[in-house]
Structure 1
């Protein structure tokens, strides 16, 4: 301190400390306010317990890991720390490293939690006889702990060696002989710890062989079981022997190297028997790791297995087949034969009206384009995707397609994108458009059951089938901006002619923010001080955030995987979003992983329902016997509800998820083969049939629905994008199974099913089709109908080729394409009707300067005939009614024979 006051250096230090203190206070405030808002949000939705578990578990784990790491590292550094360096730096280093390790561990808190609450599966792996729960829950954690332990040991040994190096360099030579014994004892002990973790890694490697890809299938093969597994056992033993040797030397004979001071110079002297023993142990370990761990299994695979692979690997192939089927829930597929007789008559059509009147003629992309042209009404509304569902209308089960009319903030004019408009005025979408899958107007446009703003039913039957008390959509797929409701500002409800209809939110969603202190906290957390300055709030005002439904459910349950296609449901007088959620794992033994490699086990364990008006979220157990969801249920006892708690009207709209079905059909294409020899030879390998589609078709973005498949230009000789082959997506349809299968329930005349076809690999004829049932007690059951191998059943590409070869159809299409328009061919649908197959394909006509496609023709192929008519009914009449000259039946021309294909 100078005579005039504190020194400038001290002033700078005080200012720095004050700034640091303010920074720490600001960070703590931000964290505290964020935690308060999060807790209120979870509590408002009824999941306070979930929030407390999600916060307590990682911080509890982090605290335990921090204390353990601090104790371990502190003791080691205390022994090795150079005395001339302040202890404060040692403590800071311990805190920094321990905090970093704890932060890494906190990111894996859920892995620890599932191990503590894991449920046994009751099924053991066929090799090591451990319950499958060990692989699903314990093994991932053990592998992680082994890696962490080894690298923490390496880090500790490196820091200790560095400290001792500094001490040796600063010690006088005369004092150096006193140091080596302590140094060696310490480093030998750390080396022993490293070898313990190395041995643990070899021991755990035995279990990871359940996911080996050494053979032609997933899981341990003959070489893994008889060569690699014993080698890992041997290496684990050698590593542990080396660890014991190092620990023994650390305790009883730490002087591997001696230093002798002579004439102010240190001379190194090796003690031969200890060094020789260690060299033998670790040399043997290294040779065993190379020989037994690498070369010997490879030799066994090449010499003993490959020349006799089927004989050697037969039992392991059987394990792979059985466990892959279990992993993808394919063990109980009902397989039946389907003898194609093609004996339909006009009477047969009358007996199958439920199927025929629900044949889907609208693809997602053209229908979405039509919705956007006809029903968005205002530029700020958007239909994000089209979904498929079924409703009972006037006593009949009808398949419909619909889309929510959501508010897309990116479409609001730039000059109208003010803070008040974004957060007070444009708050929600409104209603939906809904139409049957197979009905069009006279000009080929969708014939709506629900249309316009406000939503209006087009008939008394539709009004009775679709009662909507409140069509406002405050929570949806596009709602990504936070809004304030129940304020003094006017809130747009929906536009009407030249005026607007305004509303005040009457729902229970959102958090209260009427008090000044609440707005202060929200303004602080979200960094938006206009929340504090606005005069639009009143005591009843509420704050709606996390309105995007996928973000909403992922925040509540991030441990589930969610379907990419939420769909809207009209039930109980309101609008609800239904989202399928999955439990997955990549640690199911012997199960073949998906092509992406990120999972080999999947269950549609949960159905999530989000209220589009209030934002409430409910998680319903759809597969309660799944061991993963049973474990999650033990962790979060208040999160999940039984499916019976869902209202009956909502339950009637549960559907088998498309994403899951695609994964299952991809696996079933190979794993329908149950015989090991047939599987090994791939004698009966199937594939999902392909269809030709345009790469950059522009009939909408194709999001949602039953696959992102674009239409293709009919005449590929015309200018435009080249067609490409894509796998046919599954499609939903209403099917009369009782007319196909005599064992089906005759009282259920029609069912909503998800169907996918199979063809043999490198062939185009149909070999089978799989259906997933969606209704009632039959929900989730998988049916496979296999076609006879003795006769040809045409596949989609063959039928499309036959359609293209029809001279009348191709001539008409060419004429349309030359008159300022273009024709797009829709998806080809395969419709089973009794013991026959109908192939149905719509044609869409689109003007070159318009994005409004019209369904202009329907093509049906049956047996050796193809017809193209303006409507489905006319096409069926042309096929099955007596043909007279000049009628639509003229289109029913014989196709070329099979040799033309």
Structure 2
């Protein structure tokens, strides 16, 4: 029994066509409507910023790729289906009236145009949508240039690997996918139309089906042969399991590389054999070819390299791999900016003895010892500088440097007082208030990092908080700018805090009376009208309708607060704005504010990266930049692999009008040069960086973290030593008991290591441990000074010098320190927090560890529970120094005279009322510090008194009779507590603890 398929394609009924058209329109509206709105909004936004060419270049590139891939893939699939249909048998036998294939065939024939055209179109559209995401590879292929460096194996310029090879791989992938989809479509088409029949003992295959399918299989084999050719180049950037380096090793060069050429030849031979089956009409030939290729892949591609690895390499791996390890060392240093020109290694003892006079002479370091931890003091900023409930600071503040009135370089903890829409309450949260009244922050707050205001011996005492320099809008609308630099516009419309919320837009501009909240006087609230150029105009009904649809908010259409001069500010995160106008950049996780040319700008570091630099170490950007600070960051690095990175761009975002400016930092970077060809006139030359901006450019943290992780291995020159890992280093874990990850690098002002002189320099630093040990191996410093920017200095430390963990353990378990802090934190009434443990080269070859100690009243109300600096602990050559201030700790550690240049508390008097009113128009000033308490007697470190440092002075001439008697009771109670602890009697221990608590309370109340 047989049937002949319809010779003509049946037409759809009018009703079916109408329904299909309506369905297509509905799908288009649902899928493309929001995208079209977003595209139009982006067009407006890029135009407002002056980067519309970036937007149009992306759109055009994506569209061209989409159309090209969609047409090619769709056409190939359509051709495969059309050939199967046109070469179908005239009569197709069926198994009977209930044959399922016959039913499917009938259904398809009834809707032949829909299936024959719809399926290829759908597949083509899907392929095009996926392919357009790779627009960057296409643009780099079109505009990439030369690196001027050849790979060590093939002698090909590295530009081939960076710009050409990814594109070739992309094209090959889509050709392979299109051919494979065509094979499946042709196979199913022949099966459906009767060219392939499985019924009967042997089945049947029409001549047309055989020719078409064999041809497609042959093409797949040829494409596989081409893939084997490109696989050879990718060996130089891959990682084989068990190798301590990236790139082709002995097995890859001597086994895998020849295997790829052999497999290429086999693939071509198999393809020829498959094509021959068209003439010979023997399907066993292509079957044998496919099996041969698969077996060859297993035997030649996997088996042979495995044998070489086990028999030839493993017994003497260090010698066999030495040549290739040397390649990896050289390539990694080049790819990550760790060449001899960028890194200077110096031998450094690390444990040289130092006198008080030598320490005092190290003025650049001792006068700038940082006691403010930017990861801890944010609550203090909030307590004293917040002003209103809707102002807020980042959880992790930033470090920058400015020069004081005498021209001395000082580091500051800096913060922008931003608006946080999520902290609006009650009627502040309605649409008009949230988006048209509470629109901006107000103020740049800076605190000298090496001092605090007043001394707090106890967290319940006043003092121990930062000295605030607040540049804000004053009570009469004037700008009050006491430092650290003059500021003419303190209002902040763009920043990471204000953007860290849903629908972070603000509607500003002149429309009647000022309505934006600005500041308060004693009698009234003053409003403000935005006068900047930033923002997209929404004065006409078209843009209002578009934004109403984008944010699903009808107030855009009906609210009278929007006028013809209104503008909308959105996309207000500085890093997001930079990544939008420079989509080829990866931005640093740390974005920081600075005063440049009397304006607040956010400085963003941008990186260009590659993941296929030959022989360079391939590493996870996310893993390399993870440390104990990540919990305080709003953004983390993406989990992507890199083998090349450059801090190629410095970007600024104006906090008032949102202007984004890109500057070329590394003009020699070939990747940057390629992107500057793709987007001409978007990146300004390095020469355009003003001296005022250059003064605030920092060596970026994420780049430094990547480099220190690599220096842990790639400081080794000898390949055999490298293979053994015996001379590797480790990034130390953060010794702070509340941390559970790597110790972050720290910005400090200290002695200039880049120039090796006694002038002060702003540096990013990190200690390095010996491999899997807690002894110090090296100290890394990256200069941020304009004259030596980017120079890395590595002090290599021999012997067994205590690393951060050992130093912290020694400090925290010191008898005087532990007893003192035990008294302060008794019964968990006060929370003790250790600040960052700084490592500072000092003297003639020693290392000083410095750890500030903070405490906050645990039992008091939240408003006063901000952390206060109560102690400074130090360690030098196993000796401990401890006291309420840096001066006290230095004197305790080195003896009298060591504190000659150290900075003490900022002051002992509160700001004058007029000054306070200027600094804090909202009435929330620097609180008055407590009178400076008497300082403890300074005993040598090895003879520290066991009196808790929470109770001031030990010198008899400084204490009243009542205080002296109370102090004796404290000492007696401490002795009793130690005896009870050793006895193991819990009842006795509890009584002793209560006695100590009573004695301390008696001491504090004594006059």
Distance (whole Å) between structure 1 residues aligned to residue 274 and residue 196 of structure 2: 28
| Pairing 1:731–2:756 present | no
Secondary structure in structure 1 of the residue aligned to 2:497: coil
Q: Are the aligned partners of 2:190 and 2:196 in contact in 1 as well (CA < 8 Å)?
A: no
Q: Is the 8 A contact 1:184 1:254 kept in 2?
A: no
Aligned to 1:413: 425
The residue number in structure 2 matching 1:562 is 587
1:360-383 CA-partner distances (Å, limit 9, x unpaired): 111123211211222112111111
Aligned partner of 2:161 in structure 1 is 135
Shift of 1:886: 9.8
Residue among 346, 353, 356 paired with 2:366: 356
Higher mean displacement: 77-86 or 600-609? 77-86
Normalised to the residue count of structure 2, the TM-score between the two structures is: 0.78
Q: Match for residue 222 of structure 1?
A: 250
Question: Does the CA-based 8 Å contact 2:393-2:497 persist in structure 1?
Answer: no
2:234 aligns with: 208
Give the counterpart of 1:865 among 879, 900, 920.
Answer: 879
Q: Which residue number in structure 2 is paired with residue 270 of structure 1?
A: none
Secondary structure at 1:690 match in 2:
coil
1:198 aligns with 2:224: yes
**Which residue pairs with 1:38 in the alignment?**
42
The reply to whether residue 829 of structure 1 matches residue 838 of structure 2 is yes
Q: In structure 2, do the counterparts of structure 1 residues 567 and 283 end up closer, same or farther at CA, with 3 Å as the change threshold?
A: same
Q: Give yes or no for contact 2:235–2:252 (8 Å, CA) kept in 1.
A: yes
**Cα distance 1:548–1:497, how it changes in 2: closer, same or farther (>3 A)?**
farther
Considering only aligned residues, what root-mean-square deviation do their CA atoms show, in Å?
3.0
TM-aligned CA deviation for residue 537 of structure 1: 2.0
Deviation of the 1:47 alpha carbon: 1.0
User: Which residues in structure 2 correspond to 1:631-710 (within 5 Å)?
Assistant: 631-695=674-738, 710=739
Contact 1:49–1:638 (8 Å) recurs in 2: no
Q: 1:514 to 1:232 in 2, by over 3 A?
A: same
Alignment match of 1:893 (pick from 929, 933, 942): 942
| Cα gap change, 1:33 to 1:764, in 2 (>3 Å) | closer
- Aligned position for 1:509: 534
**In structure 2, how many angstroms separate the alpha carbons of the residues matched to 1:627 and 1:658?**
23
Looking at both structures, which has the greater relative contact order when contacts are Cα pairs under 8 Å and sequence separation is at least 6? Answer: 2
Which piece of structure 1 moves more, 285-294 or 646-655? 285-294
Q: The residue matched to 2:710 in structure 1 has which SS? A: helix
Counterpart-to-counterpart distance in 2, 1:19 and 1:155: 27
Q: 1:594 aligns with which of 600, 609, 619?
A: 619
1:848 maps onto 2:858 in alignment: yes
**CA offset digits 1:229-263 (Å, max 9, x no partner):** 1111111111112122323443xx16336xxxxxx
Quote the offset at 1:279 in angstroms: 5.0
* Mapped partners of 2:508, 2:480: distance in 1: 35
The verdict on how the C-alpha distance between 1:20 and 1:172 changes in structure 2, with shifts beyond 3 A counting, is closer
**Consecutive unaligned residues in structure 2, runs of 5 or more:** 1-12, 89-108, 455-461, 624-639, 899-933, 946-1007
Q: CA deviation at 1:512?
A: 1.3
DSSP 3-state at the match of 2:377: helix
Instruction: Give 2:392's match in structure 1, choosing from 382, 393, 411.
Output: 382
In the other structure, the counterpart of 1:327 is: 335
Residue of structure 1 in register with 2:507 after alignment: 484
The CA deviation string for residues 703-739 of structure 1, in whole angstroms up to 9 with x for no partner, is xxxxxxx5xxxxxxxxxxxxx5x422111111222xx
Q: Report the counterpart of residue 247 of structure 1 in structure 2.
A: 275
**SS state of the match for residue 233, structure 1?**
helix
CA displacement, residues 649-687 of structure 1 (integer Å, 9 cap, x when unaligned):
111100001111111101111111110111111221111
Aligned length: 829
Contact 1:323–1:591 (Cα < 8 Å) also in 2: yes
Question: What secondary structure is seen at the aligned counterpart in 1 of 2:337?
Answer: coil
- CA gap 1:320/1:172 in 2 versus in 1, 3 angstroms: closer
Residues 522-545 of structure 1, C-alpha deviations (whole Å, 9 max, x = no match): 323433222011111222111111
CA distance in 1, matches of 2:481, 2:875: 32
Report the counterpart of residue 520 of structure 1 in structure 2: 545
Moved more, 669-678 or 70-79: 70-79
Offset at residue 145 of structure 1 (A): 2.8
- Cα distance in 1 between the residues matched to 2:685 and 2:25: 50
Are 1:878 and 2:878 matched, yes or no? Answer: no
CA contact (8 A) 2:357 2:897 kept: no
Partner of 1:809: 817
CA contact (8 A) 1:47 1:638 kept: no
Distance 1:440 1:728 in 2: 24
CA contact (8 A) 1:185 1:254 kept: no
What residue is the counterpart of 2:127 in the other structure? 101
Whole-Å separation in 2 of the counterparts to 1:461 and 1:514: 34
Deviation at 1:169, TM superposition (A): 6.9
SS at match of 2:642: coil
Q: Equivalents in 2 of 1:166, 1:462: separation in Å? A: 81
Taking the aligned partners of 2:346 and 2:397, their CA distance within structure 1 comes to: 33
Selected match of 2:53 from 49, 56, 63 = 49
The alpha-carbon deviation at position 500 of structure 1 amounts to 2.2
Compared CA separation, residues 795 and 844, structure 1 to 2 (3 A): same
SS at match of 1:692: coil
**C-alpha contact 1:431 1:455 (8 A) present in aligned 2:** no
Judged with a 3 Å threshold, the aligned counterparts in structure 2 of structure 1 residues 294 and 16 are, in CA distance, closer, same or farther, namely: closer
Q: Tell me which residue corresponds to 2:608.
A: 583
CA deviations over 1:528-580 (Å, ceiling 9, x no partner) = 22201111122211111111222222222222111111000011111000011
Matched, 1:766 2:776: yes
Contact between 1:490 and 1:504, CA under 8 Å: does it hold in 2? yes
- 8 Å CA contact 2:356, 2:897 repeated in 1: no
Alpha-carbon distance in structure 2 between the residues aligned to 1:440 and 1:891:
25
Please tell me whether the aligned partners of residues 180 and 255 of structure 1 are also in contact (alpha carbons under 8 angstroms).
no
Do the aligned partners of 2:351 and 2:877 also contact (CA within 8 Å) in 1?
no
Query: Given the superposition, is the C-alpha separation of residues 15 and 172 from structure 1 closer, same or farther in structure 2, using an over 3 Å criterion?
Result: closer
Report whether the alignment pairs 1:429 with 2:441. Answer: yes
Question: Does the 8 Å CA contact 2:451/2:466 hold for their aligned counterparts?
Answer: yes
Q: Determine if contact 2:485/2:595 at 8 Å carries over to the other structure.
A: yes
Deviation of 1:895 (Å): 9.1
**Separation in 1, partners of 2:312, 2:896:** 68
Greater mean alpha carbon deviation, residues 395-404 or residues 881-890 = 881-890
Counterpart check, 1:571 vs 2:588: no
Structure 1: how far apart are the matches of 2:69 and 2:897?
Answer: 82
Alignment check: 8 A CA contact 2:471 2:482 kept: no
Matched residue, 2:450: 438
Picking from 618, 629, 634, the partner of 2:672 is: 629
Q: Distance in 1 between matches of 2:129 and 2:936?
A: 77
TM-superposed deviation, 1:202? 2.0
CA deviation vs aligned residue, 1:158-213 (integer Å, no higher than 9, x gap): 1101111122279999xx99972221111111111111122122222222221132
Alignment check: 8 A CA contact 2:893 2:940 kept: no
